[in-house]
Amino acid sequence: MNRRLNIVGGLFGAAFGFVLAAAQLHEYDTIHRMLRFDEPDVFFLMGSAIATSLPLLWLLERRKARTLYGGQLALSRSKPERHHLVGGALFGMGWAVAGTCPAPALVMLSSGAALAVVAIVGLFIGLHLRDRHAIRMVVGDGEHREIGPVLESATP
């Protein structure tokens, strides 16, 4: 079953990458034009994804749909907190500087843009720093598991 899910996931990931490439969302200039509000169609693309997925996910959760792993679909909800704002600001600054975020960075790499390696290394550094910070604090806002106490209690 896991192999089949990996194949399906890989196909969906490749299709998503194709859509990103077709919309030129892996292009540095496209992202900067969007962030300068010169190219609003990128915002329309993101808005249409939200407008499509939000009611569908709500409906699937309401009908107690089962996931591919056999569990019941349950969406997490949390109130905005300080760490959400700080994380969003850091993500936005990185997005503006690098002109990419995780999925388009992989599309950049597959299209031959060597500078994508710098962005991908930066993404992994950011993930590592986030994990180091999460170990020191309790994160349990309904969106994440309580990482801090679990890791601390695992060490002798």
Query: Using H for helix, E for strand and C for coil, what is the string for 49-69?
Result: HHHHHHHHHHHHHHCCCECCC
Q: Helix-strand-coil percent breakdown of the chain, rounded to 5? A: 70, 0, 30
Copy the structure tokens of residue 150: 């679990």
The total domain count for the chain is 1
Q: Is residue 110 part of a domain?
A: yes
Residue 76, pLDDT score: 82
Domain span including residue 139: 2-39+76-154
86 occurs within a structural domain: yes
The yes-or-no verdict on residue 141 having pLDDT over 80 is: no
Buried b (16+ CB within 10 A) or exposed e, 5-37: eeeeeeeeeeeebeebbeeebbbbebbebbeee
pLDDT per position as a tens digit, 72-101? 888 888 888 888 888 889 888 888 888 888
Q: Is residue 94 part of a domain?
A: yes
Q: Is residue 27 part of a domain?
A: yes
Selected residue with higher pLDDT from 42 and 154 = 42
Q: Are the CB atoms for 105 and 120 separated by under 8 Å?
A: yes
Please say if the pLDDT value at position 17 is more than 70.
Answer: yes
Q: Give domain status of residue 149, yes or no.
A: yes
82 Cβ neighbours under 8 A, 6+ residues apart: none
Instruction: Please indicate, yes or no, if residue 134 is contained in any of the structural domains.
Output: yes
Is 125 within a domain? yes
Query: What pLDDT score was predicted for residue 101?
Result: 84
Q: Is the pLDDT of residue 143 over 60?
A: no
Find out whether 73 and 60 touch, Cβ atoms under 8 Å. Answer: yes
What average pLDDT does range 30-53 have in this prediction? 90
For residues 136 and 42, the model is more confident at: 42
Position 45 in a domain: no
pLDDT-derived band of residue 144, with 50, 70 and 90 as boundaries? low
Q: How confident is the model at residue 146 (pLDDT cuts 50, 70, 90)?
A: low
